[in-house]
Amino acid sequence: MTDQRASDARPAAPAAADSDGQAGATVVDVASLPFDRALAELQAVVSRLEAGGLPLERSIELYERGVALHEHCARLLSGAELRVQRLVEQAGGSLRAVDLSVDDET
């Protein structure tokens, strides 16, 4: 049984492109991608669109894939933020916003 919400919320994925922008490679479902891989693919899609020179239909397919990847990354980040908030709440007993950065050692 498939999850209808997930399939209704994002456009159909086009065929992935090789380095020349040609369709053919197998497309991985966006919902199954871990954050790092989805972000890397989104960056590649943006770079390919910025480079230009693609037929209109291919550009639209890439744009749709990029939108789906962006939405997936946003959902994953939102979920991660909620998890951090819960950890802070459990540790201190009261919920407070905590700014975290890679350089923080605490």
The string of pLDDT tens digits covering residues 35-70 is 999 999 999 999 999 999 999 999 999 999 999 999
For residue 83, pLDDT over 70 is answered with: yes
Close Cβ partners of 58 (under 8 Å, ≥ 6 residues apart): 14, 17, 21, 23
What is the Cα–Cα distance from 2 to 62, expressed in whole angstroms? 24
Distance (Å, rounded) from C-alpha 18 to C-alpha 10?
22
Residue 16, classed as helix, strand or coil, is strand
**What's the pTM value of the predicted model, to 2 decimals?**
0.61
Alpha helices in 32-97 (DSSP H): 35-51, 56-92
Looking at residue 2, its pLDDT comes to 40
The percent of residues in the chain predicted with pLDDT above 70, rounded, is 58
**Residue 67 to residue 41: CA distance in whole angstroms:** 11
Per-residue tokens: 35? 């954050």
17 pLDDT band (50/70/90 cuts)? very low
Per-residue pLDDT, 21? 42
Greater confidence, 102 or 54? 54
